[in-house]
Amino acid sequence: MNDNGTNTAMNASPNLLAPASDLKRRYRTDKWFQRIGLGAIALSLAFIALLFFHIVREGHSAFVRANIMLDIDFAEKHFVKENLAAADYTALVKQALTEAFPEVVDRRDKRQLFSLLSSGAAYQLRDMVLANPRLIGTRQQVWLPADDDVDMLQKGKIDRNLPEENRRINDRQLSWLDTLASQGRLETQFNTAFFTGGDSREPELAGVLGAVKGTMLTLAITLMLSFPVGVAAAIYLEEFAPQNRWTDLIEVNINNLAAVPSIIFGLLGLAVFINFFGLPRSTPIVGGLVLALLTLPTIIIAGRAALKSVPPSIREAALGIGASKMQTVVHHVLPLALPGMLTGTIIGMAHALGETAPLLMIGMVAFIADVPGSIGDPAAVLPVQIYLWADSPERGFTEKTSAAIIILLAFLMTMNSLAIYLRKRFEIKW
Amino acid sequence: MLYTSLLPTILLLAVAAYFLGQRRAERVASAAGGLRQLHSLPSHYGVFVALCCALPGLAVFLVWMACEEQVITAMVAAGLPEALRNLPANELSLVINEIKNVAFGGFTASGGNPAVEAAAGSYLSHLHGVRNLVVAIALLTCLLPGWWALGRIDKDLRARNLVEGMARVVLFGCATVAVLTTIGIVLSIVFEALRFFQSVSPSDFLFGLQWSPQIAMRADQVGSSGAFGAVPVFVGTFLIASIAMAVAIPVGLLSAIYLSEYAASTLRSWAKPALEILAGIPTVVYGFFAALTVAPAIRDLGAMLGLSVASESALAAGLIMGVMIIPFVSSLSDDVIHAVPQSLRDGSLAMGATRFETIRHVVVPAALPGIVGSILLAISRAVGETMIVVMAAGLSANLSVNPLAAVTTVTVQIVTLLVGDQEFDSPKTLAAFALGLLLFFFTLILNFIALRVVRRYREHYE
């Protein structure tokens, strides 16, 4: 079959020494094909660049937040000594705003004025007072979170020049904000709440700590289960398994399992862990179990490759001086294969970190504002948090989604770099 | 208290057993005239005793963990008054939940039903009583075999063989986890799917043209016919997968051919990992990008051209899914193209063929089975991919092959049917498992064929 191309060329020029008449055309085709191939690679790389550029452009602004500075009067009349948490902190905020804009008297206008601040402002004051009760009776300048619409306006994501009825912030609110800005009371500052808070319905208060911690707990369970089991399975299949049908079945099975859609593992988790064993929904323990089953094939395949790369001479030497088969494997083969196994495990963990679909199946889509404390608490994980925020209608959540993606990608890059470093550092060329 | 520290206690006992066994073996050795007289190393005896101590206790603990819920519930249910005990199963489970809430100090909805309060008390006392019993049994099953093993130590005990035998069993057990997972998947999905097929006939499901899985609560409700014809869902799935493959196959194959046939080794060494980045990006990120950037862009483009494009068009989801799949096609194809023996290329080039002609007439035909295998694997990825379509494709099942229309896919339907409140006796929830069953077997068959083809191909040239 490889004669076809050359035959036509030869028929065209019977004299082998003279250049064929269509040689130029043939080389041109070759050049073009080469360019198309390069173009295909360039296309993929361009897409990666576009994706990263887009995410960073959208997400970088979530790391800052518009805050408003107010003079809060922690007058003693507001507080009851026995129960500081019960005081009406919203009233403190409202009072401070009224003092800042004494000309606003109408009730409707007042409501618009108050809506410039986030509902989280009152909680922030409460936390301040609970942490330091000596604030009571003093007057403090406090930076409080602005509402997400103000935040969007500050970041230029709401156009000031739109007609008023198409804008989420009306002209009066704009003038108040300009006043605040001219007094230096409206600033965009580093958004610590994004790193220290759990999820929230308010974009300006939402943070990723809950999701990051949920992810850590989930991945810890996954690692604890899938690494030992995966390594043990790889050792068995590579070093001990007799060549028989059962071993073949296990092998075919593992390869197939690695390509089963991840959502199927979610169905398994739902039917077995939640419905049959009655484990609590939406918790890191169930998530970790499901992801462990999901990553197991990857780890086993990587582990076997690592074991295979250890030369047989090592085994023969150990066996030759009287070590048992098990001693040979545990004392000599396994230590040499371990870096490769670790690399495979980290890559498997990185896959588990980005996995969303199976976790949706086991109920990890619930809205959870608390930061989880243990593996039995309901928790969110980063990719699911991204999914939830991407679905939220508020404009403010778009940048939060992108920022959470940046954090997720940062985790992934760290893990993959670690895997590459391990491979480079410990790889032995036999 | 005792119960929660059971696991650490067992592990501690095992460590103590190890040292006891080792010491005892050393003493036996010195009595018999040196370590050489022992059959195995002292540490082997230690591990032997430790395993004999820990394994039975752990087994008791795990078995109890798995069935605690059922046992306690059954005990409490047996102690309930007649009236409560004869409730239908689902109401009874509500009552049990209520009892647990009261017992663990949660909030109560019924506001102090005396029977529930009493049952909560008995629940707690049962729990404590039985848990103490379990602790006692577990500790006994640790200590007795441990003590027995300690007593068996003498210079002729083949401890190493015993320990290694046990280790082999553990290794074998770990290897079968993968098989158990597959069995678990098949059983759990098939079981729920069979319950679905009790209410909807399989032929209606496979060949029906209407998919609207809402069940009417009232007879006169609008638009809740509860039709379970899955054809529109399959058509949507294959439409999006075809668009994805239309992107992934040319780009992936051309990349692979370029990298293995033309590229200088420096370009290859960084372009290959760079392409792999595409496979490492979580699919939820692709979904976000598709829904927020690509779909509106396509809609605007369509509007400019005077086409009406749905905001959740199949095209947007398919294009981005295609990009995601490029590395699956390219890296596997690259491997198989690389495996084509250099002698074939050399022969063709020596005959005067250009590199393009060599690729077209020699390399690609030789690598074709492997390439087909990699494409099959990629198709199975595309069909099973979830997050991109959940975020960027539609929910309503239109029977359409127009890439500009909104269609839905199998995975989208599974997610929408199972996220949120579920009732495990309605066909609506069970339909997700029927779809899952089809998805599982379809991808399984594709994977099986693909893996076989690739394997056979590799053997062909090795």
Q: For chain A, positions 212-231, list CB contacts with chain B under 8 A.
A: 228-230
The whole-angstrom separation of Cα B14 and Cα B145 is 11
pLDDT given at position B424? 64
User: A263 and A361 in contact (C-beta within 8 Å)?
Assistant: yes
> In a 3-state reduction of DSSP, which class is residue A189?
strand
CA atoms within 13 A on the CB side of A392: 23
Residue A334 near chain B (CB below 8 Å) = no
Domains of chain B, first to last: 6-157 (no CATH), 227-461 (1.10.3720.10)
Cα–chain center distance at A234: 29
Residue B411 near chain A (CB below 8 Å) = yes
The whole-angstrom separation of Cα A298 and Cα B335 is 18
Q: For chain B, positions 16-35, list CB contacts with chain A under 8 A.
A: none
Closest-CA distance of chain A to residue B184, Å = 7
Rg from Cα positions in chain A: 31
* Residue B69 token pair: 């819920």
The whole-angstrom separation of Cα A159 and Cα A114 is 21
Identify the bridge partners of residue A329 per DSSP, sorted by sequence position: none
Closest-CA distance of chain B to residue A119, Å = 28
Task: Write the residue in A228, A250, A390 that is nearest to B178 by C-beta.
Answer: A250
User: B223 and B232 in contact (C-beta within 8 Å)?
Assistant: no
Residues from chain B that touch A293, judged by Cβ atoms under 8 A, are 177, 181
- CA angle A341/A345/A348 to nearest 5° reads 140
Closest-CA distance of chain A to residue B143, Å = 27
The whole-angstrom separation of Cα B56 and Cα B79 is 32
Residue A365, burial from CB neighbour count under 10 angstroms (0-12, 13-18, 19+): buried
Rg from Cα positions in chain B: 32
Q: Which chain A residue is nearest to residue B355, measuring alpha carbons?
A: A30
> Is B353 close to A55, i.e. CB distance below 8 A?
no
* Residue A305 token pair: 């490759």
Segment A125-147 mean pLDDT: 86
Residues from chain A that touch B360, judged by Cβ atoms under 8 A, are 5
DSSP letters for B300-362: HHHHHTT----TT-HHHHHHHHHHHHHHHHHHHHHHHHHHS-HHHHHHHHHTT--HHHHIIII
CA atoms within 13 A on the CB side of B454: 23
The yes-or-no verdict on residue A2 having pLDDT over 60 is no
The whole-angstrom separation of Cα B398 and Cα B412 is 13
pLDDT digits (tens, 9 = 90+) for A326-351: 999 999 999 999 988 998 999 999 99
pLDDT digits (tens, 9 = 90+) for A211-230: 999 999 999 999 999 999 99
- CA angle B218/B222/B226 to nearest 5° reads 75
Residue A285 near chain B (CB below 8 Å) = no
Q: Which chain A residue is nearest to residue B173, measuring alpha carbons?
A: A233
pLDDT given at position B343? 93
Residue B359 near chain A (CB below 8 Å) = yes
> Is A250 close to B176, i.e. CB distance below 8 A?
yes
Residue A354 near chain B (CB below 8 Å) = yes
Q: Are strands B211-212 and A186-190 parallel, antiparallel or unpaired?
A: unpaired
Q: For chain A, positions 24-53, list CB contacts with chain B under 8 A.
A: 26-27, 29-30, 33-34, 36-41, 43-45, 47-48, 51
Task: Write the residue in B171, B250, B418 that is nearest to A240 by C-beta.
Answer: B171
Q: A114 falls in which pLDDT band (50, 70, 90)?
A: confident
Q: A9 falls in which pLDDT band (50, 70, 90)?
A: very low
pLDDT given at position A30? 93
Q: For chain B, positions 112-171, list CB contacts with chain A under 8 A.
A: 160, 164, 167-168, 170-171
Closest-CA distance of chain B to residue A125, Å = 29
pLDDT given at position B215? 58
Helices (H) and strands (E) in chain A, counts: 18, 3
Task: Write the residue in B178, B191, B274 that is nearest to A300 by C-beta.
Answer: B178
pLDDT given at position A10? 47
Closest-CA distance of chain B to residue A329, Å = 11
- Helix axis angle, B427-461 to B314-339, nearest 10°: 20
> Is A2 close to B381, i.e. CB distance below 8 A?
no
Interface mutation target, options B62, B69, B258, chain A, most CBs of A under 10 Å: B258
Residues from chain A that touch B384, judged by Cβ atoms under 8 A, are 260-264
Residue A170 near chain B (CB below 8 Å) = no
pLDDT given at position A4? 47
pLDDT digits (tens, 9 = 90+) for A65-105: 999 988 888 888 888 777 777 788 888 888 888 888 888 88
> Is A237 close to B175, i.e. CB distance below 8 A?
yes
* Residue A307 token pair: 């074991």
Single-letter amino acid code for the residue at B230: A
Q: Can you identify the CATH homologous superfamily of domain A209-426?
A: MetI-like (1.10.3720.10)
Residue A79 near chain B (CB below 8 Å) = no
Cα B55 to Cα A370, A413, B25, distances in angstroms: 38, 40, 21
Residue A247, burial from CB neighbour count under 10 angstroms (0-12, 13-18, 19+): middle
Segment A124-143 mean pLDDT: 86
Residue A349 near chain B (CB below 8 Å) = no
pLDDT digits (tens, 9 = 90+) for A268-316: 999 888 888 778 888 899 999 999 999 999 999 999 999 999 999 999 9
Runs of H (alpha helix) within A197-283: 209-235, 245-257, 262-268
User: B313 and B298 in contact (C-beta within 8 Å)?
Assistant: yes
> Is A261 close to B380, i.e. CB distance below 8 A?
yes
DSSP H or E run through A73: strand A64-73
> Is B188 close to A383, i.e. CB distance below 8 A?
no
Closest-CA distance of chain A to residue B397, Å = 20
> Is B439 close to A263, i.e. CB distance below 8 A?
yes
* A19 DSSP 8-state letter: P
Sequential pLDDT tens for chain B (462 residues): 567 788 888 999 999 999 999 999 988 888 888 888 888 888 899 999 999 998 888 888 888 877 777 787 777 777 777 777 777 766 777 777 777 777 776 555 555 667 777 777 777 788 888 888 888 888 888 889 888 888 888 888 888 999 999 999 999 999 999 889 999 999 999 988 998 888 888 888 888 888 877 655 555 555 555 678 889 999 999 999 999 999 999 999 999 999 999 999 899 888 888 888 898 899 999 999 999 899 999 999 999 988 888 888 899 999 999 999 999 999 889 888 988 999 999 999 999 899 999 999 999 999 998 899 999 999 999 999 999 999 998 777 888 888 888 889 999 999 988 886 666 667 788 888 999 999 999 999 999 898 888 888 777 776
> Is B282 close to A360, i.e. CB distance below 8 A?
no
> Is A401 close to B288, i.e. CB distance below 8 A?
yes
Contacts of A373 (CB under 8 A, 6+ apart): none
> Poorest-confidence range of A166-170, A180-184, A321-325?
A166-170
pLDDT digits (tens, 9 = 90+) for A399-430: 999 999 999 999 999 999 998 888 888 877 77
The whole-angstrom separation of Cα B80 and Cα B188 is 32
- In chain A, what percentage of residues exceed pLDDT 70? 95
Q: Provide ipTM, 2 decimals.
A: 0.88
Q: Which chain A residue is nearest to residue B250, measuring alpha carbons?
A: A40
Domain with CATH 1.10.3720.10 in chain A: 209-426
Phi, psi of A64 (to 5 degrees): -120, 165
pLDDT given at position B217? 53
> Is A43 close to B359, i.e. CB distance below 8 A?
no
> Is B184 close to A34, i.e. CB distance below 8 A?
no
